[in-house]
Amino acid sequence: MKLVRNIRVLPDKVSYGMLVKAYCEDGKPEKAIEVLGGMEKKGVEVTTIVCTPVLNCLYSKGKNEEADRFLDWMVERGCELDAVVYNLKISNAVNQGAERVKELIEEMKNSGLKPDTISYNYLMTSYCMSGMMEEAKIVYEGLRVHGCKANPATYRTLVFNLCKNGEYEKGYKIFRDSVREHRIPDFNTLKYLAKGLVEKKKIKEAKGLIHTMKKKFPPNLLNAWRKLEENLGLQSTEEDKEVKEATA
């Protein structure tokens, strides 16, 4: 028992990583950086994985200068900037305009990394924020060329912003793409689309959307779709048979 009591368990990089993450989740990046300093003093390797939560926390707090300095600190210690780090940089650049996002994507490529769907989603978002919907669609249509597949966030962003710009029919076409790819956006985005289609008198499309979603969404959302259907005056009738067949 004496031997067991005298054993000292020294923290490793996994233990330090958990502490760093906990401080970041608590919104205290400065404390997390102190932990990283302690790791260095004790000869524990500082890795990109351990540092990433700090970078994310700094960006989320709008501390861009501190984040840039922290990136330099990481590089000085031999941390390689991976796709996750670059996507954090890109996400922070969305508000700076699409050109800045494109620069970072090129920088990512030049570093030997492959931009992924998340990278291109941020570029698409940046275009959408500037009202450049055609450019956003070009990014979407070029995903396969870059070896990427659209995910639910891709479709959500594009459908939502097309609706925001009053382009509900185009939004409906993108929705149909999402159904084919089994990457359907969230309920609120599709609710927005359904309401817009009704406003534009595109009743067949609105009914088709709701009919499809009643089949595709989890059972716990079935009542929400039925309520929306009722509120929009789209209750199913015998006359809707062709709609059901078209969307089956």
If we measure between CA atoms, which residue out of 49, 88, 90, 55 comes closest to residue 71? 55
What is the pLDDT confidence band of residue 11, given thresholds at 50, 70 and 90?
low
CA dihedral 226, 231, 234, 238 (to 10 degrees): 60
User: How far is it, in rounded angstroms, from Cα 130 to Cα 123?
Assistant: 11
User: How far is it, in rounded angstroms, from Cα 120 to Cα 101?
Assistant: 9
**DSSP 8-state code for residue 170:** H
pLDDT for the residue numbered 217: 87
For the entire predicted model, the pTM comes to 0.84
CA dihedral 228, 229, 230, 233 (to 10 degrees): 120
pLDDT for the residue numbered 238: 47
Q: Give CB contacts under 8 A, 24+ apart, made by 97-101.
A: 97/126, 97/130, 98/123, 98/126, 98/127, 98/130, 98/132, 98/135, 100/126, 101/126
Checking if the pLDDT of 31 tops 80, the result is: yes
Q: What are phi and psi of 240, to 5 degrees?
A: -90, 10
If we measure between CA atoms, which residue out of 180, 186, 128 comes closest to residue 153? 186
Q: Which residue has the tokens 């599709």?
A: 190
Average pLDDT over residues 107-118: 97
Which whole-number Å values give the CA distances from 147 to 114, 144, 150, in the listed order? 9, 5, 10
Checking if the pLDDT of 242 tops 90, the result is: no
pLDDT for the residue numbered 236: 61
pLDDT for the residue numbered 157: 98
pLDDT for the residue numbered 20: 96
Alpha carbon 40 to chain centroid distance? Answer: 33
If we measure between CA atoms, which residue out of 52, 50, 59, 58 comes closest to residue 11? 50
Q: Convert the pLDDT of each residue in 33-85 to its tens digit.
A: 999 999 999 999 999 999 999 999 999 999 999 999 999 999 999 999 999 99
pLDDT for the residue numbered 219: 84
Lowest pLDDT segment from 24-38, 89-103, 119-133, 216-230: 216-230
195: three-class secondary structure by DSSP? helix
Sequence-ordered list of residues with C-beta below 8 angstroms from that of 137, at least 6 positions apart, any chain: 158
**DSSP 8-state code for residue 217:** S
Average pLDDT of every residue of the chain: 91
Of residues 2 and 179, the one with the higher pLDDT is: 179
What is the set of domains in the chain, with CATH numbers? 11-80 (no CATH), 82-149 (no CATH), 150-248 (1.25.40)
Q: Convert the pLDDT of each residue in 119-158 to its tens digit.
A: 999 999 999 999 999 999 999 999 999 999 999 999 999 9
pLDDT for the residue numbered 174: 98
